[in-house]
Amino acid sequence: MSFIYIWISTIVRILELKVENLSPEMKATLKYLAGIAGPSGYGSKTTAQQISEDSMPSSHDNLTAIVTGATSGIGLETARVLAKRGVRVVMPARDLSKAERVKESIQKESPQAEIIILEIDLSSFGSIQRFCSEFLSLGLPLHILINNAGKYSQKLEFSEDKIELTFATNYLGHFLLTEMLLGKMVETAAESCIEGRIVNVSSVIHNWVNPKHFSFMKLLNPKSYNGTKAYAQSKLANILHAKELSRQLKAKKANVTINAVHPGIIKTGITRDYRGFLTGMQNILFLGFDSSLFLYVQTKLYCLLIGIFSSDSLYFVASKLLKSTSQGAATTCYVALSPRVEGMSGKYFADCNESHCSALANDESNARKLWKQTRALMHRRFLLPVGKCGEGEEANTN
């Protein structure tokens, strides 16, 4: 398979040198394929381990972080790297036995690692409430919250709260988790004088969402269902959440930031569960390419792969173009740990650099509208306190 790497790398470098007037999206895609570092000094080939070694002084070994989805994939790698650097890691987990095995594996590598396992089902509002109550009862500080867990479902399923499962897990679950822990984060930041950081793990696939189809009520209980669209909509919601909560935190002058990240196209459980996701890979890699030359290269490469390989072989070849788990966790760790990100909030990052998200994701009115609708839902279900600022419900940071 080495010829594929050489071929693609050569094409990328030729295009980067020869094609003028590239859009930002084109340049970002080329940098991703070639592994070229951006303004931060990091790029698509950077690993989470590199980020942690560059970012964390030993004086920060008393930090506490919650990492959802830490029993596999980039969540596990994020937890491993943080624990290795002395961060106390809290692992919310649905499968406690699996979480214990992960804990043992991390502590085998880093005997000093402090890892706390607490039960949670992010699709269940009741389970999230129990987790937060249990965590808060420990009396620990909270410096970092990484909303990483992701769910992809090919068929229409519903949570125990009668909400479409992908949206319930990826967006609503993390929204409620953040809401219930935000007061502790603001308190910790004020007492420790260390900036609190919230990271929403999103995806470039949020670009696929059609604004006409992004309806809160339809997301809760869709009449028709497409797994990829549902996943994309949930990831768009993650970014809108970060945008609006950032605005509110800035208004309150809280020393807590929230940003969204695209980890890259990674070999995780989601891509293993849905091979069709990879057949759409060319749309992600070449997203925003409006040049006929790029479209030509894209089409020829993709058709060649389809023509030569069976579906299983295509999956294998495509998977070789994906990021490793360590590379996938790098952007999350960069936004959570790097001093270069201090004070930055409401931003979208990819390959350890600030990046561009869709116009819909940047729409402040949509972000505020989604926030109000979500808060109203939470208030109806749980009687969560609703602020009374002039423009609607605000974050409860008290």
- Active-site annotation, residues: 225
Beta strands in 166-269 (DSSP E): 196-201, 256-262
Tell me phi and psi for residue 200, to 5 degrees: -95, 115
Between strands 115-119 and 88-93, the pairing is parallel
Contact 242, 367 (CB under 8 A): no
116: which 2 tokens? Answer: 């706390």
Contact 71, 322 (CB under 8 A): no
Q: Which residues, in sequence order, are CB contacts of 321 under 8 Å at separation 6+? A: 4, 8, 265, 281, 285
Contact 136, 184 (CB under 8 A): yes
Q: What angle do CA 202, 208, 213 make, to 5 degrees?
A: 105
Each as own residue / partner, the long-range contacts of residues 93-102 (CB below 8 Å, 24 or more positions apart, any chain) are 93/117, 93/118, 93/119, 93/120, 94/119, 94/120, 94/121, 94/122, 95/71, 98/71, 98/72, 99/70, 99/71, 102/70, 102/71, 102/72, 102/76
Q: Which residues, in sequence order, are CB contacts of 55 under 8 Å at separation 6+? A: 333, 334, 337, 338, 339
Q: Indicate the SS3 state at residue 336.
A: helix
Quickly list DSSP for 136-159. Answer: HHTT----EEEE------SS--B-
Please give the single-letter amino acid code of residue 285: L
Query: Among all chains, which residue has been given the structure tokens 């070229």?
Result: 36
